[in-house]
Structure 1
């Protein structure tokens, strides 16, 4: 009788966890991939990027070329999956600098870390914060989104963190009060952040994030990229015995500094990187490399990687130390997450008690949605 009760309780807990498990992913409006082509049944939440901040009045705006894409996004997504939730992502960086999102272009991404005058200029003034918050919520409602996402903010000074505290509190209060005024469901509020709350000059205000955001999309990838590193690297290493540049370290730091595990979504990249080897006979992780290969910045969509593997008859290697797949094609080395890596990371996230995972980005999967069905 006791054993039966325990089994029933465990089954109930597993069912509860599966219901709360979030399978989220980004979709870039500038991508030519149609929303109708995404199997939204594989996800609980889809994040449409990007809206931008007008530097003259701090209000949110959507590019005219993205209007149709965004205004029909929720309708198309929910036609296949009525229970799916959609979020509008707001780019907190320099206007029109999000071209990296079309692929990854991480070298551009890291160059932009210090280009956030528009965002931090906005949060420095109360009236500008009010304009941002009001216009963001109006944009979400007008286009049918069920939540808002802030991507990506890099607080690097004490003044930045102090102003962010006021901004986050005011945004949360506005979101909480809206349903009482207009009898509408409460908007979801999320943030995209780097893999660790502390890195170089960046220090996130963890307690303020904990208090005001529903969860954080952790950018747990692009640790090593061929535009910067002259050696092959596991760009989304779950573990790294010789470095803190790994997902396990970052997740543990977020939790250690006060953000609950159930407010974290691990990032799953649907892209890899290609390096040109110095010596084609030396192709282990960490092998000397000349730099990028195959594309302008070395980033390669998973669907393209699969094409290369099939076309050249190459079987990738799975490295369980770093949790990464890699392959060598001639003098090129490609590191990426295949099915084995995705499975391991999803299991890790569940064991750590995380809220779920977030894909960067969904259309990079192959035609059979092999990675998305794995998660």
Structure 2
């Protein structure tokens, strides 16, 4: 009688069998070219604002789990320290696909310092959670060396993953990082175009929260500077990345200030400080879209002013001594018309947790994108080539979501091979 295999060998045989079967299936189903991307980032840390089960998955083609960190010393993926977030990670793809079988889920991976609590969960393998792709959320390479390492990283991951597995990156609003500590910090556009399915351009968060005057946080146009979504997006196209690999970001948060004088409430009005801390963003100077709407609705009508700026394609609301720049539905529609005019692959919303109870922005964005793509003239969009020299260079992106530090002490180039294999295996275990 044949000897009974050990438990370890039996498990290995099962894994090998699963991998072999899945690779065979993938070879027979090469992914077709994408027609459009209607994506959303779901912030795991803010799941309390909108449970994943309450999200209308039919409004998106791709949903991102944001984010897992990489331990800087061990170079392994860190599971969340909070048990609820661990469960969310384990069930993310299954929950989303139960509502929309056609939606793709992508795991966004960034860098982090990694405290003791976070490191405690690093022994678990997230490769069993059924994601269809991985996103490199390196925010942001800060030197020419780090940019080169970014290019090496995406090339190695492309070589490691099977056909049909998505590789994307969350990137700066421009292909050139204006405020980097060293000069000439440009993304490796050739590697990006060759190895990534697309880049998610964070065309928002362009004003620092510490500014002492009110300002638009994500204007489509700014004729006086390079501080605009249009300039950032077009810079990627001019760098040689095909429009079919560029996805434009739309913010679902607003940037807020306390006005110095309630009577002086326009763009550029003096401010005394960042706006009030909110439950949604959990930060001063930032409000979720839902909170912006609540602010406007709860103040007396005489104290609320909402304005749409045609030149910038941006909106603000002034409610008493609080001033907020945000993307309303009219701005969203105009931005998506611009994206369609440029031939971009699509858009993403950051983050979908911040939408209101009716998912107003998510619904309007989906409708506007469909309408813009089907329009014979793609509307009368102007300013796509905004090339004037800037009055001043824009500051670093300052989104209210958790940012990943860019430190020379941590090199993505030296990521452990287990992380690369983890990316490969993510596709194998569909729940």
Provide the TM-score with structure 1 as the length reference.
0.78
Equivalent positions of 1:68-107 (< 5 A) are 68-95=87-114
Give the equivalent residue in structure 2 for 1:10. Answer: none
Among residues 322, 347, 359, which one is paired with 1:332 in the alignment? Answer: 322
1:241 aligns with 2:223: yes
1:206 aligns with 2:189: yes
Equivalent positions of 1:281-292 (< 5 A) are 281-292=263-274
Equivalent positions of 1:119-158 (< 5 A) are 139=126, 141-158=127-144
Residues 305 and 319 of structure 2 are in contact (CA less than 8 Å); yes or no, is this contact kept in structure 1?
A: no
TM-superposition CA deviations, 1:270-315 (whole Å, max 9, x none): 0101111122222221122112122142100110111111112335
Among residues 144, 156, 164, which one is paired with 2:150 in the alignment? Answer: 164
**Structure 1's 279 and 315: CA in aligned 2 closer, same or farther, altered over 3 A?**
closer
In structure 1, C-alpha distance between the alignment counterparts of 2:245 and 2:76, rounded to whole Å: 28
Among residues 75, 78, 95, which one is paired with 1:58 in the alignment? Answer: 75
SS in structure 1 at match of 2:45: coil
Residues 43 and 66 of structure 2 are in contact (CA less than 8 Å); yes or no, is this contact kept in structure 1?
A: yes
In structure 1, C-alpha distance between the alignment counterparts of 2:62 and 2:81, rounded to whole Å: 24
The range that moved more, 260-269 or 286-295, is 286-295
The range that moved more, 279-288 or 229-238, is 279-288
In structure 1, C-alpha distance between the alignment counterparts of 2:76 and 2:53, rounded to whole Å: 29
Q: Which has the larger radius of gyration?
A: 2
In structure 1, C-alpha distance between the alignment counterparts of 2:352 and 2:150, rounded to whole Å: 30
SS in structure 1 at match of 2:102: coil
1:275 aligns with 2:257: yes
Among residues 192, 195, 198, which one is paired with 1:215 in the alignment? Answer: 198
Give the equivalent residue in structure 1 for 2:61. Answer: 44
Give the equivalent residue in structure 1 for 2:214. Answer: 232
Give the equivalent residue in structure 1 for 2:371. Answer: none
Give the equivalent residue in structure 1 for 2:43. Answer: 28
Could you tell me how far 1:93 is from its partner in structure 2?
4.4
In structure 2, C-alpha distance between the alignment counterparts of 1:285 and 1:310, rounded to whole Å: 21
The range that moved more, 39-48 or 271-280, is 271-280
Could you tell me how far 1:166 is from its partner in structure 2?
2.5
1:308 aligns with 2:295: yes
Higher RCO (Cα < 8 Å, 6 or more apart): 2
Residues 44 and 83 of structure 1 are in contact (CA less than 8 Å); yes or no, is this contact kept in structure 2?
A: yes
Q: Which structure shows the bigger proportion of residues in helix conformation?
A: 1
Give the equivalent residue in structure 2 for 1:371. Answer: 361
Task: Provide structure 2 residue ranges, at least 5 long, that are not aligned to the other structure.
Answer: 1-33, 116-122, 278-282, 366-431
Could you tell me how far 1:81 is from its partner in structure 2?
0.9
Residues 156 and 203 of structure 1 are in contact (CA less than 8 Å); yes or no, is this contact kept in structure 2?
A: no
In structure 2, C-alpha distance between the alignment counterparts of 1:161 and 1:371, rounded to whole Å: 34
In structure 2, C-alpha distance between the alignment counterparts of 1:164 and 1:77, rounded to whole Å: 30
Residues 72 and 112 of structure 2 are in contact (CA less than 8 Å); yes or no, is this contact kept in structure 1?
A: no
1:299 aligns with 2:286: yes
Task: Provide structure 1 residue ranges, at least 5 long, that are not aligned to the other structure.
Answer: 1-18, 97-134, 180-185
TM-superposition CA deviations, 1:60-115 (whole Å, max 9, x none): 2212532210111111111111100000110134447xxxxxxxxxxxxxxxxxxx
Could you tell me how far 1:203 is from its partner in structure 2?
2.0
**Structure 1's 298 and 194: CA in aligned 2 closer, same or farther, altered over 3 A?**
same
Residues 264 and 354 of structure 1 are in contact (CA less than 8 Å); yes or no, is this contact kept in structure 2?
A: yes
**Structure 1's 93 and 56: CA in aligned 2 closer, same or farther, altered over 3 A?**
closer
Residues 93 and 152 of structure 1 are in contact (CA less than 8 Å); yes or no, is this contact kept in structure 2?
A: no
Give the equivalent residue in structure 1 for 2:336. Answer: 346
